[in-house]
Structure 1
């Protein structure tokens, strides 16, 4: 599928901001299953300094510094992307999960050394005991890693309720386990804690999910949102099985990958530091993921 992805982030302040330093992860990655035809980021006010770089995980990162005094800051990212379904090595998915632990089995595959970092605890995906016990029901002795990961995904969808009011950006895996509710970011962190606490390497993936429109209804522009899912390392093929616990499915050609890291803290869409006397600020985010054909026919 070909998509036009628009992601606009707007900060509004009640007093002038004299200086704003920012980092943005909002340019999709070029990947074997994803081709990026174009990607751009525009910022208003225009920064005195802006540059792009590649971070340690291979993500495209935009750095900017705005020195013009402003009451509003807008970061507008626009991309055109083609995504195809990923084909996995069926034999590799049959590997017993116990053999898919790169720290305990460093010689199991050539890429084990690179995957090992993603088997470690990270700040937003702590290995709480409740998550370890929850995962144990899926990680039974000798079970194929593909089957075990998929079963964990099914159970998270069944046992946890999607609720935007249940958690905040500071909520922990322990909070999600206790409330049995959260949003995509929470479910991704939960899945990470579940797998990593048993030694399986898994990474946090940020991006977008193209929503399906009910038959006969016009697609609502702006209805899409930033999304998060997880990818578990599969030795033998050195592939990563990408799965979406929020929607109970493997990542498909509807999932546009922007960046990945240990957890959300590595790849937020925008973060930064401002210098201001402002007491209040507001944040508005508008995301739209549309099949490119819609724009071709307009």
Structure 2
């Protein structure tokens, strides 16, 4: 599928902001299953510096510095991407999940690169509740593809999607206690479940193209940022380092041609859409976010 993606973030303040320095993850990654035809990031007011680079995980990151006094700051990332469903090696998926533990099997090709993603991270703490919950899926000798899929099914069945149940500061322990949350919470929960058993897994940010109900028009700008998880699978892959099985516990499915991948890291803190520092005397601020992921045929050709 081909998509035109637009992600607009707008901050409003009740007093002048003298300086805004920020980092934005808004450009989709070029991947074997995802091609990026073009992209652009714009900032208003016009920044004195707008630079694009790759971070330590290979994600495209945009740095900006606005020095003009302002009470409104807008960051917009636009792109055109073509996405297909990733393909996985059946033999690798059939390997016991225990082989996906790089600290236990450091001799497996690619284990060195996966090791960082088995360690505890700030937003995916290794709590006992997550370890115990994952046991029912990670049975001894169970194929990694089957084990990860079962964990995904159980999170979907046992946890309720509720945007009011958690906040950006909620922990894995909070989610386990309330049995509710949003995509970010379910991704952090899945990370903790896998990592506490030694399985390498990374947090993935991106977008999910939504489809309107039959007879309804698609609402422009009503989409949202999304999050899912990718578990490391030893075996064939780029440079022989294995593959990463990407799955979406919120929607109970492996990622396919409706998932647009933007960035990955240890958890949300590594890949938040926008973060930064401002210098101001403002007491109040307002954040508005608009995301649109539209099939390309809805647009006239550029």
Does residue 50 of structure 2 align to residue 50 of structure 1?
Answer: yes
Hey, what's the Cα distance between the residues in 1 that align with 2:271 and 2:223?
Answer: 19
Choose from 235, 241, 244 the match for 2:248. Answer: 244
TM-superposed CA distance for 1:103, in Å, is 0.9
Question: What residue in structure 1 maps to residue 90 of structure 2?
Answer: 90
Hey, what's the Cα distance between the residues in 2 that align with 1:289 and 1:210?
Answer: 5
**1:1-298 maps to which residues of 2 (within 5 A)?**
1-108=1-108, 110-237=109-236, 238-296=242-300
Give SS of 2:299's match: helix
TM-superposed CA distance for 1:296, in Å, is 3.1
Q: Tell me which stretches of 4 or more aligned residues in structure 1 moved more than 2 Å.
A: none
Hey, what's the Cα distance between the residues in 1 that align with 2:193 and 2:201?
Answer: 10
Which piece of structure 1 moves more, 99-108 or 227-236?
Answer: 99-108
Give SS of 2:37's match: strand
TM-superposed CA distance for 1:90, in Å, is 0.5
TM-superposed CA distance for 1:74, in Å, is 0.2
TM-superposed CA distance for 1:154, in Å, is 0.2
Unaligned runs of 5+ in 2: 237-241
Hey, what's the Cα distance between the residues in 2 that align with 1:28 and 1:255?
Answer: 11
TM-superposed CA distance for 1:297, in Å, is 8.0
Hey, what's the Cα distance between the residues in 1 that align with 2:211 and 2:94?
Answer: 32
- Number of matched residues? 297
Give SS of 1:174's match: helix
Hey, what's the Cα distance between the residues in 1 that align with 2:161 and 2:277?
Answer: 31
Unaligned runs of 5+ in 1: none
RMSD: 1.0
TM-superposed CA distance for 1:98, in Å, is 1.0
Give SS of 1:296's match: coil
Alpha-carbon deviations, 1:113-146, whole Å to 9, x = none?
0001101110000000000000011000110000
Give SS of 2:283's match: coil
